[in-house]
Every structure is written in C-alpha cells, then in structure tokens.
Structure 1
C-alpha cells in the first residue's frame, strides 16, 4: 500500500542535515505500526513523508503503486485528503465551534452535503464515546475528550490510513489508556494506523514496531 524505496530527506540549515537516509519500507493495509526513536532521529520526518506533508530529497515513495514524485502539489493535496487522516499531540480544535462542528470540518471538502455531514459527524462522535458532549464547546472538554474529538474529525472522512504523531503526549495515564483502546478498536475495523511515540509502553500497541535512529529505520 505504502512503499518507500531508498528514500532520503535532507534539509539545508546552513549545512546539510540528513533527517532520513536510504529508507526502504513497505506498509500493508490494516497494519498497526508504531515508530520510536530518540528526539531528532527523524521520526516525525518519516511520518510527514509517508503522509505527503513533506517530499523526499531522493528515492521513491509509492502509494498503491503510484509514484508520488510525479504529482503536482495540488494532486498531492487531493491524494492526502482522500487517503489519509492526521492526529497530532496538539488537538487543533476550533474554539467557538461545538465538538460535532469540529468533526464536520474534516468533511467540508468531501462529497456530502451539510445534512449528511452532520449525520456522519454525530455518528463518529458516538463511536468515540462522546455522544453526550457532541454540542459542547471544546474549551469545556478535558484533554482526553479533545483528543477523541480530534480523532473523530480525522476518521470521519473514512481515510485508509491514520497517522498519529505523539497522540498521548498531552494526556494522563487514564486518558492515554482510553485513547489507545479507541485506536485498537479502529484498527480492528480495518483502519491502518501509523503512530510516532516516545513512550515504550505506547509503542507496544503496534503489531509492527519500527525504530528510527540517525535517519535510518530498523524493525524491532
């Protein structure tokens, strides 16, 4: 489904910084992959390349056999919006919009009209266990509830892959456990999950575990 072939990513910060070096990796549909490694090792860069948020400096990235290096920025955005969902450590919810309205925002550029978007958003809010908070302002939600809304927003458009960058980083142990249970449920329904984490206990969630060190990737 997703395949990196000898991918490198180099930044020019006055001198070359090799964030990724000769990474070859294949991810299959339905996998639950966790990515660990020290700070600055290249974990988030790997996630950004896989999610089409960044482009390789060398090598090839193929999605379902399609070479992404040939895509225009507009086409990359269209593929990203159609196939991928994203959840970050920061919740990025809009204050002044209810929880369900925040979920609807994830579907604004999809094929559904306003009424159908609301129906789907309410169903997704129910699925993440927040039906009773659907019309709450995000400023009144706990950290765990905010992250559940963020996941609902990412998953509502029915992506094939959910990318998570330190999704438990702002949560206490109880909320982290609840969030991980939700991700397991989503993965069990067929959603591919790729998650960056610094927490070795969270990393154990993955059926497949990768370690990034000095820009290289190894299996664990």
Structure 2
C-alpha cells in the first residue's frame, strides 16, 4: 500500500484512514488492533478488496488493484484471499464437510475432487470426527475451526481474519490460535483484526490503528 486513504463524505469529510504506507510480505503473521471506530476494519476491508480506497495505490503480487479492471480485483479476492469472520456463517442443514466444500464451488474442481479436498482439509485440522455433523451440533470452537478450513481449502495465499475469536471462550481461543499459527508456519500469510491482546501477541508483526492513523509496534 502506498498512501492508501479512505474518506467518507457524510456532509463533511470523515477520514476513516489517513494516507498510509504498508507492506505485508508472503509468510507474515500480522495483527491489527485498535479501539472501536479507530479504522482497523476499514484497513482490513481495503486489504481484502472488500472496499476501494479514496486515494493511493495498492499492489497485490505486482497488480495495482486500484487501476486494474473489476474482473481482476474479483479474481484476486476469490483466488488469492480467504476470509474468516467473528460470525461463523456456516449453513445449517449442511454437514461440516458440505460447508467446507462450499469454499470450492467457484473453482475449477469437479464434485469428487471437491469432496476429496474438503475431507483432507478437515482431517489435517483434526476434525475427522465432526465431518458429518450439522453446525448446530458443533461447539463454538468447532464451528470457527470449520469456518477456517472452509476459508483455506482452496489454498489462498493470504487469510484475513476479523475478530476470529470474538465469540469464543479462552480454551477455544487457544485452539483456534494454534490452528492459525500452524497455517502460518505452513506458509500462509495471516492478517488478524482483534481486540484481544492475547490474539495480537501471537502475531510476528503488530499494527495499531488510532483515529485512522496506522503505526507499527
């Protein structure tokens, strides 16, 4: 990111994010902290191409996502990035395995290959015994772990997490953090927005946002 900024016009300009220079390298594990309304969600949305900046340039793998065609931005968002949110967004009435398969629906794989990839991904995360469970039968920690598997089953290069432990108790938080650490050790770039200092401390890099200004700790 070079001089990336986001301004909203609500009768008068509101600077959600002041001009910012940031570089995230492949394999980084980054946490973004700050109080509510500080701009950290704005930063995450810009990182994940869920929102467009008002000014500045943002390159992903050498592609300027501000000036490229919308189809290219969509392709990067779908193929390079994975997303995990505080709400698990698992579909009731579908098994954990079927929920993970949804993460592959828009890819090139046929149904048998999708089933194989989803099965192997759940096995790697120690969820073999929960594959056929409905989300309503899962604990909060298990639901978030399934949501993470769904986000990474298509093998994105970057995983963005927005308060991934916000709905979890301390024990399940540690399980999810261990899962994220292992994914990072396996080479996945991980960027986490969090209010939780314990979660932030597990990252190799920490960004703090206050009043739309980003600084690295």
TM score, norm. by length of structure 2: 0.98
Supply the distance in 1 between the matched residues of 2:17 and 2:60 (Cα, whole angstroms).
Answer: 19
- Number of residue equivalences: 217
- Extract structure 1 runs of 4+ deviating beyond 3 A: none
CA–CA distance in structure 1, aligned partners of residues 208 and 190 of structure 2: 16
Query: What is aligned with 1:129?
Result: 126
**Per the alignment, in what secondary structure is the counterpart of residue 118 of structure 2?**
helix
Q: In the TM superposition, what is the alpha-carbon distance from 1:126 to its structure 2 partner? A: 1.1
1:19 alignment partner, SS class: strand
CA positional deviation for 1:57: 0.3
Q: Say whether residues 1:20 and 2:17 are aligned partners.
A: yes
Tell me how far 1:74 sits from its aligned partner.
2.7
2:91 aligned residue (91, 94, 97): 94
Report the more deviating stretch, 171-180 or 59-68: 59-68
Give distance in 2, aligned partners of 1:35 and 1:107: 28
For 2:14 and 2:98, locate their aligned partners in 1 and report how far apart those are by CA, in whole Å. Answer: 41
Q: Supply the RMSD in Å over aligned alpha carbons.
A: 0.8
Displacement of 1:65: 1.8
Alignment gaps of 5+ in structure 2: none
Distance in 2 of aligned mates of 1:145 and 1:15: 44
- Which residues of 2 match residues 198-213 of structure 1 at below 5 A? 198-213=195-210
Q: State the shift of 1:19 in Å.
A: 0.8
Aligned equivalents of 2:108, 2:79: Cα separation in 1: 11
Alignment of 1:56-67 (within 5 A): 56-67=53-64
Q: Name 1:184's counterpart in structure 2.
A: 181
Name 2:102's counterpart in structure 1.
Answer: 105
Distance 1:144 1:54 in 2: 29
Unaligned residue ranges in structure 1 (runs of 5+): none
Query: Structure 1 residue 11: deviation in Å?
Result: 1.4
Q: Aligned pair 1:157/2:154, yes or no?
A: yes
